[in-house]
Structure 1
Amino acid sequence: MIRAKLKTNNTFVYIYYIYKQKNSEGRYVLHYLSSAHNRTGLSVYFEDEIYNIESINDQNVLGEYIHPVLEYFLNNHWEVYEGIIEGNLEYWLMFEEKLGFRP
């Protein structure tokens, strides 16, 4: 699991998916699909919005670009994956249960 801090309010976010996208200048930039402690659902943060990125040990090992629990829902349960992203409470609780403890 990867954890970082938001520059705007110095709170932790947990990063579950990292992807590259080409910007208007033709350069690739990283985006971080992350959860915050005070809301359900996942939000995208840009490189310049987060800092102090660190790897946290838990029972899941982070894949190269996507957390295995999120990848499981993406590949096997699209409706649940969508609900996780959108913050549907039922699906969010399923996601948190599968994740287990987060420091």
Structure 2
Amino acid sequence: MATSYRNPEEATALGAQMRLARKKLGLTLTDLAERTDVSHSQISRMERGLFKGTSKNVQILCNFLNIGGTRTSNKEEPQDLAQRLERLASSSPRWRSVVAAFAEALEAAQDTHPPT
């Protein structure tokens, strides 16, 4: 569940965090839109703090960019985890290798110790 932003200052601050995180990852608005299925025009508005209340898309972006402000529970959604792994894997060839090795190790562990 996303947090409600009750005033423009909170929305503007979160938008600035979104923009900074996106740029740190070297992503354009279009890149981020393609990876999150949130339109680039909506991302642009969010980065400028032009949103009110709660928004599923705000939560999607915060989770993908790994920034705070949206999660009210500690329960990890499967899609969130996949997005985080994709973000890491797409950040560089080295990190793609690290994520692939991690996935292989998890699969090997699952083969020898299936979930109960």
What's the TM-score bracket when you normalise by the shorter of the two chains? Answer: under 0.3
User: Is the helix fraction higher in 1 or 2?
Assistant: 2
Return the index of the structure with the highest Cα Rg.
2
Q: As a proportion of its length, which structure holds more strand?
A: 1
